[in-house]
Chain A
Amino acid sequence: QSVLTQPPSVSAAPGQKVTISCSGSSSNIGNNYVSWYQQLPGTAPKLLIYDNNKRPSGIPDRFSGSKSGTSATLGITGLQTGDEADYYCGTWDSSLSAGGDVVFGGGTKLTVL
């Protein structure tokens, strides 16, 4: 069972908007930055969002991130079939060990209908 909770799946039609939630606690999301990753089938994860809401160079502004309290949200607008992938949130957690641990959500499979 993952420390961060994500819905197993979400779906929406091409061109529509979708949001993916990531729920944690004060020991992780509540006091740390959140990152989001996209993993296309058979490939390594790719960083989409860091520091809650920043996009690395090359990531389109269709992807956005936000954080409130102990939850974070990834938003994707103008859905494309190429967005079909697994999405993961990640952050530090200070409760698992003295030095802290990186923790991930269980992943959300996005289907573009």
Chain B
Amino acid sequence: QVQLVQSGAEVKKPGASVKVSCKVSGYTLTELSMHWVRQAPGKGLEWMGGFDPEDGETIYAQKFQGRVTMTEDTSTDTAYMELSSLRSEDTAVYYCATCYAPSCAFDIWGQGTMVTVSS
């Protein structure tokens, strides 16, 4: 059974970067398509991007292009999401989630990581 365990809460200043990790257990990361979804306080879900197994590439939502980088360390089965040039609007809970192909239903979710951007 797949489990995703994320790193702890972060507080960052505007303009800084944050890197959130997502450790996989029960499967290897290479068997999964990992994506990232965020949720601002009191708001809905927002997809940020993820790994497309058809192309072998990582795809990003246009809104985050140039500011987000998603990487994977297959030696430790850990996925990472780094968001740069943080602003207050980036304050949110960030989730990693596995994408069940071909519809990309997110079947397994991490517990979430709260990122607060404040001066």
Contacts and interface: CB of A to CB of B under 8 A. Distances in A.
A107 B62 contact: no
Contacts, number: 71
Nearest to A100: B59
Interface of B: 35, 37, 44-47, 50, 52, 55, 57, 59, 61-62, 95, 97, 100, 102-107, 109-112
Interface stretch (A18-26, A68-76, A90-98): A90-98
Given A44-B109, A99-B52, A99-B59, A107 B104 contact: no
A101 B62 contact: yes
Given A44-B111, A96-B62, A32 B103 contact: yes
Given A44-B95, A45-B95, A96-B62, A104 B107 contact: no
A103 B112 CA distance: 19
Nearest to B95: A44
Interface of A: 2, 32-35, 37, 44-47, 50-51, 56, 88, 90-92, 96-97, 99-107
5 contacts: A45-B37, A45-B97, A50-B103, A92-B104, A106-B44
Contact of B107 (A47, A97, A106): A47
A44 B107 contact: no
A56 B106 CA distance: 11
Contact of A33 (B45, B105, B110): B105
B99 to A, nearest CB: 8
B82 to A, nearest CB: 20
B45 A56 contact: no
